[in-house]
Homo-oligomer: A and B are copies of this chain.
Amino acid sequence: MSLDHVVLGLELLGTFAFAISGALLATRKGFDVVGSVLLASLAGLGGGVIRDLLLDAGVPTAFTSPLLLVPVLLAVMAVFLRLIHEGRLRRTLLVFDALGLSLFCVMGATIAHETGLNPVASVLLGVTTAVGGGTMRDVVANRVPQIVDPEGVYAAPAFLGAGAITLVLHLGAFNAFTASGVAAGVLTLRLLALRYHWRIPLAALRSRSRRQ
């Protein structure tokens, strides 16, 4: 399998996962099925569109390549038919979102590296690709985006994943196994963070004298 095939696989699977998160959010908010298509598209294709805009790479592939619409439409249908639905703990959305996050940080950093960006830029672009679609989904649904939600660390695993895959690429060790391995590591970290409510320090140290 060539690098391009691995990247396409990551993108199709990540698009499906994020699109599920968008369609589930549409259900939770009581939107109709066209709203579901829009929220699933924003979540599933948004990260890639931002990536392509930032890379100044012509018309984003989400628009020119109809193949990417397939996972979005499958996701909308799966949620519409209740093949995938939220259980009592309402954690289904978060799990699919975590899957999208892990696949997209690897895919984004890899494409940035292929385009010739420096390592720092590749990591930043990987993180932006990973969190961009979900952020647009949440902003349009008018809720505080998960990137700043204190339910457990979110962007930190994406940073680690984008960093790890950039290192792997520089060592010339990128292939289907290492890419899946890094994505699996990010997914595991994110799910553990959710399960055990992992927290990292707040934005500011606590004041001793008074509550801010």
Contacts and interface: CB of A to CB of B under 8 A. Distances in A.
A34 interface: yes
Interface stretch (A1-9, A96-104, A140-148, A177-185): A140-148
A105 interface: no
Contacts of A76: 203
Interface in A119-141: 120-121, 124-125, 131, 135, 139-141
Copies in the complex: 3
Nearest to A76: B203
A117 B66 CA distance: 12
A74 interface: no
A186 to B, nearest CB: 14
Contacts of A56: 56-59
Interface stretch (A10-18, A79-87, A166-174): A79-87
A26 B121 contact: no
Given A53-B53, A147-B140, A202 B27 contact: yes
A34 B200 contact: yes
Interface residues of A, number: 68
Contacts of A114: none
A203 B156 contact: no
A148 B82 contact: no
Contacts of A192: none
Given A56-B57, A80-B205, 12 more contacts: A26-B148, A29-B148, A32-B153, A32-B203, A33-B201, A34-B156, A49-B54, A53-B53, A56-B58, A63-B121, A63-B125, A80-B201
Interface of A: 23, 26-39, 49, 53-60, 62-64, 66, 69, 76, 79-82, 85-86, 117-118, 120-121, 124-125, 131, 135, 139-145, 147-148, 150, 153-156, 159, 199-205, 207, 212
